[in-house]
Amino acid sequence: TNALTMAWRLFKNLSEEQQRYEKQLVFEHPAFAKLCQQLLRGARRMTRGDLVFSLHALVHLGVPQNTLLVQTLVRVCQEKLNQLDNRCISVLATTLVGMEKDKNVSALQAGLQLLVEQRISSIRDIFVLQNLMKCLGKDAPLFLKKKLEMAVVREIDGLTFPNALRMFLALAAMNYCSLPILNPCSKKIQENVHDVPFRQLILILEVCHTLLYRNVKLFSALADYVNSTAYLWDKRQIILFLSACETLGFQPTELLDFFAEKVTEDPDFLNLKYLLIALRVYSRLNHVPRVQKDLFFETLHSCLNKCLPQISNTELLKAVYALGILGYLPHRALDELLQKDSKDELLLSDDPKEQNAVMLHSVKTCMELDSPSFTKPAFVLTENLSSLVSLNLRKAQEALVELLGDENMFRQNVQLPYGYHIDFEIRMDSDRKKVLPIAATDDHPDSHVQRLAFLFAPMSAFCLGTTHPQGKLAMKKRHLSKLGYHVILIQNKKFQEMRNEDAVEFLKRKIYSEDAFSFPEATLQDNN
């Protein structure tokens, strides 16, 4: 056991290539075969510690799982399971994480689960609890996940920084979002953020995405740290970090500005892979650099042109779509895209809701509405879809009736050209003092009538923790402005949480406030 364990400890510090070479030497060495035979003969006479450590070392050294030796040790562990102390249980749990499921491994894992259920109250070591969480994984019954959670919370005051990092991974393995554990772990990570390796920074964000855990303070601390030490990191590392932020809908503004500056200074590192990531990040987060935005777009456009010979049809569509969301039309790539569309090479099916079809429709809308030659139409053809509103808009409808006195003073469920839809429309006089009846303005179209479009959007349509709209919503707002609407974005979840009288007052401020009419028609962003 000592020989195998020492071999594994030495192997851990080698590179993958060195490990492969050394393992081959070890496996071919005659003494290793004798050692394995001796282990096989003495398996049932071994102490519990030697048993689990031998199995752990063999598995991690890469001895095939289907060998007689490994299978024998697994079966003996089943037989002696009740004799194992907490330390041995922890080692066994770590070993099982690295093994494929077969008949014996599954039986051993099931036995271990029963044992943990019996002993959970006596396990005080967070490290042991973490190993058990990883081993039992997402298939553990909910009641056992809750018991493990309670056991960890009981010891949370003694949480160390390394344990906080490992706890994130343990919860991810169980696919269990425990706020009583994650919140203290997040605080510990924020306090020690300068000690987190770069790969772990990205791993933390990925775990938060998996667990649907949203902690703006944690994300901000990680982003601020990367931004303050950006000179230490490779640009490829930073774009991967930004990609992890994008999956969470989190907008690290300063870091995005810094990276954009680096792209304009040295765009050569942007191969097709990193270019597509950058386009996805900036378009979804609706982020335009505060300085040299035109140069940034031109740089991305130039990189895209260089990649055209090697880019696939879907990648080309995604790239043009991303730039379109940001209000930029890459003409050469757009021409190539339209040629492919004319040959029916882009759409994967006839379903208009299919992803490629939706992106292509948006690109064509951008071509028309974002063109410099487009002028605001004097009249927009609209259609009322239904007099019924969805349940999540009922409160807004009632507040508007109370505020305006009559349902005839606004429209609901309005369908516009280009496939756009608005929740409510209100029309006002040119001085923005009075709301006008819908029927009166329909009979006498007047260019001086102000048209307000209310969009009640989910929280997921905004960057995390802000009122900054993400790409699709920002593009919709921009296009509605081009069609002559003053667009008012409202986070529906927060609106639903208001008391009725507060909701009425909130809409009153939105309708009659000067701010509601301060959106320039040609602007691109609501950049923070």
Predicted confidence (pLDDT) per residue in 411-455, tens digit: 999 999 999 999 999 998 877 788 888 877 765 566 678 899 999
Residues 306 and 329 in one domain: no
Does any domain span residue 523? no
Does any domain span residue 175? no
Does any domain span residue 163? no
Q: How far does the chain reach from its first CA to its final CA, in angstroms?
A: 60
Residues 364 and 448 in one domain: no
- How much is the pLDDT for 523? 38
- Give the end of a domain, one of 263, 289, 310: 310
pTM for this model (two decimals): 0.88
Helices (H) and strands (E) in the chain, counts: 25, 6
Does any domain span residue 384? no
Look over the chain and give the mean of its residue pLDDT values, rounded to a whole number: 90
Residues 20 and 112 in one domain: yes
Residues 113 and 209 in one domain: no
Judge contact between 333 and 366, C-beta under 8 A. no
Rounded to an integer, what distance in angstroms lies between the CA atom of residue 271 and that of residue 304? 9
Residues 297 and 330 in one domain: no
For range 117-128, the mean pLDDT: 92
For range 300-310, the mean pLDDT: 94
Residues 97-116: tens digit of each pLDDT: 989 999 999 999 999 999 99
Does any domain span residue 228? yes
Q: How confident is the model at residue 519 (pLDDT cuts 50, 70, 90)?
A: very low
User: Quick check: 386 pLDDT over 70?
Assistant: no
Residues 280 and 325 in one domain: no
- How much is the pLDDT for 522? 35
- How much is the pLDDT for 525? 42
Reduced to 3 states (helix: H, G, I; strand: E, B; else coil), residue 46 is coil
Residues 322 and 305 in one domain: no
- Give the end of a domain, one of 261, 280, 310: 310
Q: Which helix (H) or strand (E) holds 37?
A: helix 30-41
Q: Which helix (H) or strand (E) holds 283?
A: helix 272-284
Q: How confident is the model at residue 309 (pLDDT cuts 50, 70, 90)?
A: very high
Judge contact between 79 and 105, C-beta under 8 A. no
User: Quick check: 388 pLDDT over 80?
Assistant: no
What Cα–Cα distance (Å) separates residue 321 from each residue in 177, 260, 384, 417? Answer: 34, 19, 29, 19
Residues 286 and 346 in one domain: no
In the beta sheet, which residues pair with residue 488? 454
Residues 198 and 213 in one domain: yes
Q: How confident is the model at residue 515 (pLDDT cuts 50, 70, 90)?
A: low
What HEC string does 343-354 produce? CCCCCCCCCCCC
Long-range contacts, 102-106 (Cβ 8 Å, 24+): 102/65, 102/66, 104/71, 104/74, 104/75, 104/78, 105/65, 105/74
Question: Pairing state of beta strands 485-491 and 450-457?
Answer: parallel
Does any domain span residue 410? yes
Does any domain span residue 209? yes
Residues 3-28: tens digit of each pLDDT: 889 988 888 888 889 988 988 899 99
- How much is the pLDDT for 520? 38
Residues 239 and 326 in one domain: no
- How much is the pLDDT for 432? 77
Residues 306 and 259 in one domain: yes
Q: Identify the domain containing residue 318 by its residue range.
A: 314-374
Does any domain span residue 233? yes
Name the domain count of the chain. 4
Residues 351 and 459 in one domain: no
- Give the end of a domain, one of 255, 284, 310: 310
